[in-house]
Amino acid sequence: MTELFSPARFGAIELSNRVVMSSLTRNRAGAGNVPTDLVAEYYRQRASAGLILTEASPISPEAHGYPRTPGIHSGEQIAGWQKVTKAVHASGGKIAIQLWHVGRISHPDLQPGGALPVAPSAIKAAGQVFTGQEMKDFVTPRALETAEIPGLVASYAQAARNAMAAGFDGVEVHAGNGYLLDQFLRSSSNQRTDAYGGNKENRARLLLEVLAAVCAAIGSDRVGVRLSPVTPFNDVSDENPQATFEYVVEQLNAFKLAFLDVLQGAGGAPQDQWLAFDYDRLRATYKGNLILNNGYDFASGTDAVKSGRADAIAYGRLLLANPDLLERFRRGGPFNQPDYEKLYMGEEKGYTDYPTL
């Protein structure tokens, strides 16, 4: 019987088990947004997971929206990530990088030349952003010109090639959590009137073009995608999320991706909206490997895999605080608790200093 400890094959990536490390922003990059030796040690400690999904990594200078997030667009960043992948592989693990563009969830203080961040439409997100010095309100972004979109798509493909040069086993295209590709998908943030706005087919066009380009660059068997159908994180919503995301998932089948990673609920999603969304319909629609993500423990994760609702389970907070989570699952605990005060600061504290059994 398939269970969490069973091996799996996700496209070209062989997993020793079905525990996946969820992507977790940690803000520990060095100068130039370069991964450091400390970042390499953090991921090395967690290499017993079947697959590590790294923290989101900006695909270009314009893709950044938070301080100290490690990019994948410069030679120095590629070299920094090489230390990470070598450390994980030396410990027997597999690792894929999450490709990220934050879109409007940025600020001129974080943009090259102080430019406005870009978005599908010139709609300001509610909330604030940490610029590295202080919290500031989000600004009204600049709507991407239609003629700029091919260049944006090309930047995703180049980031994927950079990831292969850095030694990654694969990439995950981040199309969730209210960032750029999700902003295009959702009706609240996309009010375009060109071929990339309006109906769900047009709103999904950019994501599908990005996936086509990334798959062409490195092979679809090394590409995954993250979706978060009902999370309102970063002030996004959709008038009909079930129809929108069933359409998206149906289109994914043609790519024969390594995996689809679905974040269930999260980010303050109203319970009635979360409960109303039928994730089983996505499972029935999608023909490939499905990772479910958010709030699972050992028992619920085991049940999801055994029942066939998922092929693997992504763990965030549990793996953050328990680098040897596989062994703790085998023994039934005990489990460290995350130090929430040091999630995004503290260097090694709350990062690489969690005790193992």
Query: Annotated catalytic sites, by residue?
Result: 179
If DSSP states are collapsed to H, E and C, what string results for the chain?
CCCCCCCEEECCEEECCCEEECCCCCCCCCHHHCCCHHHHHHHHHCCCCCEEEEEEEECCHHHCCCCCCCCCCCHHHHHHHHHHHHHHHHCCCCEEEEEECCCCCCCHHHCHHHCCCEECCCCCCCCEEECCCCEEECCCCEECCHHHHHHHHHHHHHHHHHHHHCCCCEEEEECCCCCHHHHHHCCCCCCCCCCCCCCHHHHCHHHHHHHHHHHHHHCHHHEEEEECCCCCCCCCCCCCHHHHHHHHHHHHHHHCCCEEEEECCCCCCCHHHHHHCCHHHHHHHCCCCEEEECCCCHHHHHHHHHHCCCCEEEECHHHHHCCCHHHHHHHCCCCCCCCHHHCCCCCCCCCCCCCCC
